[in-house]
Amino acid sequence: MAEKAGKEIKIVIPEDIISIFIPEETIQHSLMAKKELLLALRSLIDAKIQAIEKKLEKKPQKKKKINITQE
């Protein structure tokens, strides 16, 4: 399915006007929710980095030399 081309419109509303419509408690709750999401992503990234570092720390097993003789 082809995507339709569109235009983006950005509306900037001054904070003092937003506070008329949205209570301060709601704004603070929204900010804390965004912070928690970012902390969750950080935790996921840290876990993946640790897994990669663990793989890199593993030393390869020593190779055994096998003699092959012809009969």
Query: In this predicted model, which residue has the larger pLDDT, 62 or 9?
Result: 9
27 within domain boundaries: yes
Percent of the chain with pLDDT over 90: 46
Residue 37 lies in a domain: yes
Tell me the C-alpha distance between 31 and 26, whole Å.
9
- Note whether residue 59 is domain-resident: no
Q: What is the mean pLDDT of residues 23-38?
A: 94
Q: Is residue 10 part of a domain?
A: no
pLDDT band at 62 (very low <50, low <70, confident <90, very high): confident
Decide if 13 is inside a domain: no
Q: Does a structural domain hold residue 63?
A: no
Dihedral (Cα; 48, 50, 53, 54), 10-degree rounding: -110
Whether 43 is covered by a domain: the verdict is yes
Is residue 6 in a domain?
A: no
Query: What share of the chain has pLDDT > 70, as a percent?
Result: 96
Tell me how many domains the chain contains.
1
Range of the domain at 43: 23-52
Give me the sign of the Cα torsion angle 12, 16, 20, 21.
positive
> Residue 2 pLDDT > 80, yes or no?
no
